[in-house]
Structure 1
């Protein structure tokens, strides 16, 4: 286990500890309204979502990168801290449900919480889980792709961290990639991977399957496309397997919340200036800078 995975987030918390001296902001007296993006390619209209916890929707603390990293790390630990640095296209697909973490006792329910909190109440997906559909029927593992929850995981983390109207919550990554690229999201800024160095709490994104050809110059697209994004939890690392690297956490990677190392250059960028990804597995199409109110909780550690 690469100890750098743990050292960087801890260093972030210590370095940002000075924020504890700042005055505590007043929580909102009423729940916030949030975008109902879903399958659209825009941020969508706003509405009140009763599934969001009160501490998040009323912002008991400012929306901050420390919480996003900590929540992602918490979910990773819950799934047993898996790390996958091989090429996902070379991994064999499990043929029995017992080896799929998303279908394990205690974890299929957690995936259900990602859907319940991350998506809008009127959508069918809120009743999905790691192995049951909206009718409570056990679905065959060969249909897992229909219930892919990686974007639901990202939406869940942002909801619980208090992003509220700053994030276009959707079961499709391309929804918030396009919303950021078009400037429709107030909480996301899309950057060319070769022109911006990711920070902790940002998202890095790639097209999947036939959409691997999507590049930053293609954004925003007029259509949804298969994609995947991970939350940056550590930067400026030196270690196996890539030397210069950063770490991201994403959902539904090998049916779990998983950490992946991403190669970078000496400055921390994930692509060259001409947009060529340094990662042979993932042709990164965008880095989404998340706009936070603070780097850390004002009373962290108290």
Structure 2
């Protein structure tokens, strides 16, 4: 993992009370009433440590290690599905419950999805593996990481990536800014986002869209790397990739940029539509020793 890029804020005093956040999120981008979310641990909602890049990346990497540290750099169009439901990490003992925690903590408390797990719906009924696309949890994973890292009211938590992509692009999210992947150099803790399926054609210039669209985002856990398979590269960690929390390498140039000076994206697998710049209070924990 590369060195952090900036200084760190003075150690703040934890808040005396948990932060209040929206208690429901609507597809239109509106939010519901604001209140205390009892699903979020006190250390996160009161910011025992400042909201910082180091913690966000470390939380994502912790979850990646829990799933067995899988790495997949193949083209997503070439990845085979698991032959048997029992081979899906999201459905095995110990991990289906962890995905339930992503939903429970990451989503606003009055959303139906808070009761989902890696294999059960809100009524506790096991759903058929062929329908697990209806219970995709990649945005829940991102929301969970942001919650536990202490983003509080700054992040528009949602079961859909497009909700927070559009919120960032429209300026409605106080702690997230949408940046053009053709010009912006990602930093640790940022989110790399891409449209999926027929929405792979969504570009930065089209944001915010007037509609939701299937998408995927991963959190940047390391930058300025030099190694296989791409040489200059960065790493992202995302949920529900191969039914697990998975690390993917993304090609860059020596500057850490995703595109050349003409705006051509180096990655032939993912036509990145946006980098979501997360506005952290600090690069690292004040006493981390870095």
- For normalisation by structure 2, the TM-score amounts to 0.95
Given the alignment of the two structures, is residue 113 of structure 1 paired with residue 119 of structure 2, yes or no?
A: no
2:47 alignment counterpart: 59
1:243 alignment counterpart: 231
Number of paired residues? 288
Moved beyond 6 Å, runs of 4+: none
- Comparing 178-187 with 269-278, greater Cα deviation is found at 269-278
RMSD, matched Cα: 1.7
After superposition, the C-alpha distances for 1:150-204 in whole angstroms (9 at most, x for unaligned) are 0000000000000001100000000110000001111011111011100000011
Distance 1:218 1:284 in 2: 12
1:4 alignment counterpart: none
Choose the corresponding residue for 2:79, options 84, 91, 94.
Answer: 91
Q: Which runs of 5+ in 2 are unaligned?
A: none
Query: Once the 2 structures are TM-superposed, how far is the Cα of residue 273 of structure 1 from its aligned partner?
Result: 4.3
Mapping of residues 153-232 of structure 1, within 5 Å:
153-232=141-220
Distance 2:26 2:216 in 1: 15
Choose the corresponding residue for 2:123, options 119, 135, 138.
Answer: 135
Mapping of residues 7-46 of structure 1, within 5 Å:
7-8=1-2, 11-12=3-4, 19=8, 23-36=10-23, 38-42=25-29, 44-45=31-32, 46=34
Distance 1:162 1:72 in 2: 13
8 Å CA contact 1:43–1:184 kept in 2: the answer is no
Choose the corresponding residue for 2:138, options 147, 150, 156.
Answer: 150
Structure 1 or 2: larger helix share? 1
Distance 1:117 1:210 in 2: 30
Distance 2:83 2:39 in 1: 34
Query: Once the 2 structures are TM-superposed, how far is the Cα of residue 137 of structure 1 from its aligned partner?
Result: 1.1
8 Å CA contact 1:41–1:179 kept in 2: the answer is no
- For normalisation by structure 1, the TM-score amounts to 0.91
Distance 1:283 1:115 in 2: 28
Q: Which runs of 5+ in 1 are unaligned?
A: 1-6
